[in-house]
Each structure stands twice: as C-alpha cells, then as structure tokens.
Chain A
Amino acid sequence: GAVVSQHPSRVICKSGTSVKIECRSLDFQATTMFWYRQFPKQSLMLMATSNEGSKATYEQGVEKDKFLINHASLTLSTLTVTSAHPEDSSFYICSASRGRIYEQYFGPGTRLTVT
C-alpha cells in the first residue's frame, strides 16, 4: 500500500502554545487528506477533510479556529493545534486518499500531550 508519514510522532507542549503536525503522502498524490482524533481504545473521530488548494471541511463540533488545517500541495497537509489545552491531549492521525470514496492510507499518528 501507499506510504504516509506523519511528523512529529510525539510532542509535549505547554498549555497555551501551538503545535503543528505534518502529514505527507510519500509515493502518491493525495487529492484528499483526513485528520482524525483517537482516544485510547476508541474509534477514529473524523475532525476534518481537506482537499488540495481549498479550505478544509470540518465536522460538527470541531472548532476550525482551534484546529487549523492547510493542504498546500498534493503531498502535504498540516494540522495546527492553536492555544493548546490539556484536554487537547490525544492521538492525532492523518490519512491520505485519491478521493473520498477511495481507500485511505493512514500515517503513524502523533501523540500530543499538553501539560
């Protein structure tokens, strides 16, 4: 399958700071990228869907001003958690796809801890 990288894999930050997470599709052009949040032993919660060159579509309940998503190219999307709080601590996973109806290839995830 296709390879998707995510950086950093782990990050610890102080409350009030911002953190940027990068998601890259390494061997294919991802028209669509997805950002998920996953709590321990739970399912994937879709946060937003982004298409290259256009604004991200956020799921209900996800604050777009807090979770900034940029999909600048067909191989790179970034998620910035602004003014992070301890309740933002979670596992964030991105995935890349050729389109919404196609299979998704997931990155390895980023473990965010806000102290």
Chain B
Amino acid sequence: GQQVMQIPQYQHVQEGEDFTTYCNSSTTLSNIQWYKQRPGGHPVFLIQLVKSGEVKKQKRLTFQFGEAKKNSSLHITATQTTDVGTYFCAGNAGNMLTFGGGTRLMVKP
C-alpha cells in the first residue's frame, strides 16, 4: 500500500534558525497537503500542492512539490517560538490520503 515517510522525526532549533521537513511517498501523488498541530491541539490545514514542481509561500513558510510528484518539503525561515508544533504532510493517491509520521519542531528562545 501507499506509504508516506517524513523526516526528521524531531528537530530542535534555536529561534531564528531555519527549519526544513521532508516528505517522501512510495507512489506518485495527485496532490499533497500540509498540516500543523500545536501541542495539545488538533491538526490545522496549511496548504495543498497539486502541480509538479509547484512552490507556494505563506509568509516565512515555503512549500515545494517535487517534479515527480513523489516528494515535498516545508521550509520555515527564521523560526519563531510560535512555530512550535508537529508538521504533517498527507499525500493523496488513488483517492486515498495517507499521513506522514510528522516532524516535531521545538524552538529554543
């Protein structure tokens, strides 16, 4: 079945440093979604990427979808303490959405 791997599992950064999480799918995706879950909260939809090679930005967050539509990344520039949380990617293939394991970001002030 479809598998979505996400790395790293955990990341500690100093406030102001950059952060990147990577998502890799075993199958070609029709689209990929990114979610953020704050500690004690529920996942919140951030963005959806559909096109091969697509790049989207939301303020300090940059999302990329690979040319082969099998991988994606989320990059945060100059992290802030408000960025703390777990970031999940979710890949859509064959009408099935599969979540990655998430990357837990911790930011030291």
Q: Report which A residues bind B (CB closer than 8 A).
A: 1, 41-44, 46, 93, 95, 100-101, 103-109
Pick the interface stretch among B11-19, B39-47, B51-59, B64-72: B39-47
Residue from A41, A103, A106 in contact with B42 in the complex, judged by beta carbons closer than 8 Å: A106
Q: Report which B residues bind A (CB closer than 8 A).
A: 30-31, 33, 35, 41-45, 48, 88, 90, 92, 95-97, 99-102, 104
B104 touches A101 (CB 8 A): no
Secondary structure type dominating chain B contacts = strand
Question: Can you report 25 A-B residue pairs in the complex whose CB atoms are below 8 A from each other?
Answer: A1-B44, A1-B45, A41-B104, A42-B101, A43-B88, A43-B101, A46-B99, A93-B42, A100-B95, A100-B96, A101-B30, A101-B31, A101-B95, A101-B97, A103-B33, A103-B45, A104-B33, A104-B35, A104-B45, A104-B97, A105-B45, A106-B42, A106-B43, A107-B42, A108-B41
Looking at A42, A95, A103, A104, the one whose CB has the most chain B CB atoms below 10 A away is: A103
A103 to B33 CA separation, bound complex (whole angstroms):
7
On chain A, the residues within 8 Å of B90 by CB distance are 104
